[in-house]
Chain A
Amino acid sequence: MSGLRILVGCKRVIDYAVKVRVRPDKLGVVTEGVKHSMNPFDEIAVEEAVRLKEKKLASEIIVASCGPQQNQETLRTALAMGADKAIHVLVEDKDYSNLQPIHVSKLLAKIAAEEKVDIVLLGKQAIDDDCNQTGQMLAAILDWPQGTFASKVVKKDGSLDVTREVDGGLETINIKLPAVITTDLRLNEPRYATLPNIMKAKKKPLTTKKPSDYGVEIKSSHQVLSVEDPPTREAGQKVESVDLLVAKLKEAGFMKS
């Protein structure tokens, strides 16, 4: 098989449907006992890789995740969606709060080189920290071209046509392989992992590594000063008629009387 080898990064984040609460110390959010799942943009990245494999353009899909033991659940989900093997970079709980996109991109760069991949597919950002940095930094470290915010990826001979979601429209660029792609929301709709595929995923290989295996030290370059809830909306009031609404608006100074 001579198809592309694809590495997909999968972050475990608080589930998108969960209402996030700020910790009492205001230095983070409550994660204990909260439902987690794969970052939705990373799910899109896994889906895109699987579609490339289904089209026989890719030969092997490797998924990687950096974080605590529970990240293996995230990797199993990716395997159930159709990835071939998984690498878990185990970051102990005490170090996890210091893990930032720079570390993840260094780790992914090492894995990309070791696995001799042609494409790294990542979500454009994680829905927890909204950093939008890992893909870009990874491309810089590897010195590979990048196609960010992809809403369409078409394989050409030795390159990719990537359609990007930019302000006010779409931009299509051609980038040479190897390359880094980050996915936007409209790239695809990820498939559901059925029970039989979850079962099959259990038989697929999952390797655990440490950041030190890749020579990466998890040391924070910034300090979190505070995490705040968004301002709470105050209760509104109902008005009976348009006249009453206009009167109220005038009263509040939003309209000229």
Chain B
Amino acid sequence: MGLLKTLSILASGHGGYRTLGSNRSVSSGQNNEARAKLILRHTVMSRDHLTPEIGLRLITPECVLWRAREEESPFKDPFWAIYWPGGQVLTRFILDNPDLFRGDALLDVGSGCGAAAIAAARVGASSVIANDIDPNAISAIMLNAAMNNVNVVVESGNLIGQVNNKWKTIVLGDMFYDAAFRDVMIDWLTMQCREFKSNVFIGDPGRLPLIEHPIKSHLRKVGQYVLPKRCREENNGMTEGFVWQLNVKYT
């Protein structure tokens, strides 16, 4: 199967460090194997972050794409190639608190590189769904999960807004950017909390849309971390990250 082949490429140290070369764009129609190849070519495995026990394929300063212009990237919006500060602290929190996740079904929304989902699988969550609507993210999550020897189920449909009693725990890293999206997320998460008493954990580096929302009074701080040096340098002005648990009154 394609993944095994790509893994052997990975083990032999290829990937990354190459010129942009063939600038094919990846459409969702292309199969996972082609996407995985392209990801391996343009990213490197990085452990220079808050969860070094999890290796992740990322665009780092060693990659040609790091200094590329947007139109030079073969991937449209490669959000999955960045380990976001909110994702880093959330993943650290999961690894540090296995008891909160062990044995439960977990959904990682906006999974990106899949770090939080991989961490949940590592600490013994009974089932893990990594959800991202970008097909490249799905391929990256599959690569990263295999590289870390864990099983996660990938889901590319948009699950935001679906209320579902299958998810005991929902985690989200760095999803609170703009007010409109925040409101959609908060409505959904509040509903999920009320209806099914889901545990909701949010990793966030202090983005204003979250800090300024009234929901803040329903968030309990359960984790706080100093961001590692590289992450601080890449996220001008951010030095810390927080993990919040949504704490709504069940009516």
Contacts and interface: CB of A to CB of B under 8 A. Distances in A.
A81 interface: yes
Interface string A47-64: 000100110101010000
A203 interface: yes
Contacts of B59: 195-196
Contacts of A196: 59, 66, 81-82, 234
Contacts of A192: 67
Interface in A160-189: none
In terms of DSSP, what is the predominant structure of the interface of chain A? mixed
B65 A195 contact: yes
A53 B178 contact: no
Contacts of B160: none
Given A195-B59, A195-B66, A195-B73, A203 B236 contact: no
A197 B82 CA distance: 9
Given A54-B236, A81-B236, A199 B66 contact: no
A194 B236 contact: no
Contacts of A191: 236
A191 B234 CA distance: 11
A58 B236 CA distance: 12
A178 to B, nearest CB: 20
A54 B177 contact: no
Contacts of B178: 203-205
B29 interface: no
A203 B237 CA distance: 17
Interface string A201-218: 011110000000000000
A15 interface: no
Contact of A84 (B81, B82, B208, B239): B208
Contacts of B234: 194, 196-197
A60 B238 CA distance: 11
A1 B178 CA distance: 18
A82 interface: yes
B32 to A, nearest CB: 22
B33 interface: no
Contact of A202 (B73, B77, B208, B235): B77
A251 B29 CA distance: 77
A155 interface: no
A54 B237 contact: yes
B62 interface: no
Contacts of B177: 203-205
B211 interface: yes
A251 to B, nearest CB: 54
Nearest to A52: B237
B79 interface: yes
A198 interface: yes
Contacts of A250: none
A200 interface: yes
B68 A195 contact: yes
Contacts of B236: 50, 53-54, 81-82, 191
B179 interface: yes
B98 interface: no
B170 to A, nearest CB: 20
Contacts of B67: 192, 194-195
B78 interface: yes
List of 4 A-B pairs having minimum Cβ-Cβ separation, nearest first: A82-B236, A53-B237, A203-B177, A205-B178
22 contacts: A1-B206, A53-B236, A53-B237, A81-B236, A82-B236, A82-B237, A85-B208, A194-B66, A194-B67, A195-B70, A195-B73, A195-B78, A196-B59, A196-B66, A199-B70, A199-B77, A199-B78, A199-B82, A200-B84, A200-B235, A204-B178, A205-B179
Given A54-B237, A194-B67, A195-B65, 15 more contacts: A53-B236, A56-B237, A56-B239, A82-B236, A82-B237, A84-B208, A194-B66, A195-B59, A196-B59, A196-B81, A198-B70, A199-B82, A203-B177, A203-B178, A205-B209
